[in-house]
Structure 1
Amino acid sequence: MLSLTDKAWSPYAAGVVIGLLQIPAFLLADTALGASSSFVSVAGYVASVFDPAVRDMDYFAKYMTSTKYAWQSALVVGIALGALISTRLAKTRRPRMSPLWRAALPVSGFGGRAAMAFAGGFVMLFGARMAGGCTSGHGISGVGQLAVGSILTIVAMFVGGIAVAMMYRKV
């Protein structure tokens, strides 16, 4: 039986739970699970503080006028808080720097790791917006709806990830 104090959940059980989250997402918020559009919403709101004309730009207006994007922003905050609560309940701590991370990228200290995490997150978010959604949007929601574009996107993500891993591991 699943418990909130377990150190890890079966990926199958976690997948079922995440898949079932689609039901309230569609019924209550009229949207699919996704995360990358929330960053566009927040960026639009922050930019509009400095330049109100941002609200009239087609790209930002779409994300700033719909409540479903506010719901997705709450989802992103909930993911971070859920991860924090989960580690506290399970009494788990990650090592400061894993041996795999140390071997792959010779960065040291918090600043180096933070810079790498920011750069990686920026590239990932940029790619997600170019693909019209993130892995959760395409992989969970799109594939769950059997959307051909989402299925192709997920295949491309796996192929790209495997290719990059092979380059780094020199397999």
Structure 2
Amino acid sequence: MAAGKWLIVLGLLGMLAGVLAFDLVFPSLADWGIRSFPQSITAPLVLDISYGHLATAFGVLVLLMVAVADRLDPGKRLDPEPDQKEPLWRREWGFGLAGASAGLIILASSAQGQYFGLSGSYAALTAHIADWFGFSLESVPTLNETTAWRAASAAGLFPGAAASALMSKSFGNVPVTPLWAAAHPSGVKSRGPIVFVGGFMVLFGALIGGGCTTGAFMAAWPTLSVGSFAMGATFFGTGMATATLLYWGKWGLLSEVRSRGLSLATD
């Protein structure tokens, strides 16, 4: 458990370094041609179609894709069905309930003229903490109610996740998944630098790109933003390419792990 705690700390330090690195280069981004263009180009404007018609068609398409993906999910055949008699807070949520809950949160923030995004929330949290020590961030020059609720949403993730794990009795020491352990070294010394660099790249890249999977993907897709479509494709394409490189030449491990009765969906 101690090793896992150190990895969590390294990941958080990497994320903090990503925010600070972004703040360092922030004044030069416009000169470099990064984030200097308007981000209000939407599919209805490009295609000259009303938002209502296009949003309805897109929503139906997404629901069909999700239904097909859920139908073909190998994890459903390998994982035991959750006990529906257990209270909701003590069992795994399905994608429908979890997605609807996330959608309501995004809708509530959008209705107030805001957008819900975690990368910006981490930057706001860092700015508020820095302000306590008499420092300020170039990328977050003004602290107000907007930055305050963003900072609170980022800070609330940690106790919220801990409470969820404790209530569902899923708070356990799982250093790495069996598939990762079979393919890569699992010690802290080998994983620590990767976790730190990963945390750094996640925050630095998201802030450079103007959003993360929450803000630029989940919250921005309903606006039919062309930029959010491009960013979403980049997220998933890069993720698949990275996974392919990590397990290159080790495909036999997939069959080995599956033979243990584990689910490839969660392993």
**Normalised TM-score (structure 2):** 0.54
Change (3 A) 1:46 1:80: closer
Mapped pair 1:3 → 2:83: no
Say which structure, 1 or 2, has more relative contact order (CA 8 Å, 6+ apart).
2
**Greater Rg, structure 1 or structure 2?**
2
Whether 2:107 is the aligned partner of 1:23: answer: yes
Q: Percent identity?
A: 28
Aligned in 2, Cα 1:77/1:26: closer, same or farther, shift over 3 Å? same
Select which of 154, 166, 180 maps to 1:76.
154
Aligned residue in 1 for 2:140: 60
Match of 1:36 in 2: 119
Match of 1:100 in 2: 179
**Counterparts in 2 of 1:51 and 1:76: CA distance versus 1, 3 Å:** closer
Q: Which runs of 4+ in 1 moved over 3 A?
A: 42-52, 111-116
TM-score by length of 1: 0.80
CA distance in 2, matches of 1:119, 1:75: 24
Structure 1: gaps spanning 5 or more residues: none
| 3-state SS in 2 of match to 1:60 | coil
Query: How far 1:167 moved relative to its partner?
Result: 1.3
Larger helix proportion of the pair: 1
* Deviation of 1:43 (Å): 3.2
Question: Letter of the aligned partner of 1:20 in structure 2?
Answer: L
Contact 2:117 2:212 in 1 (8 A): yes
User: CA-atom RMSD, angstroms?
Assistant: 2.5
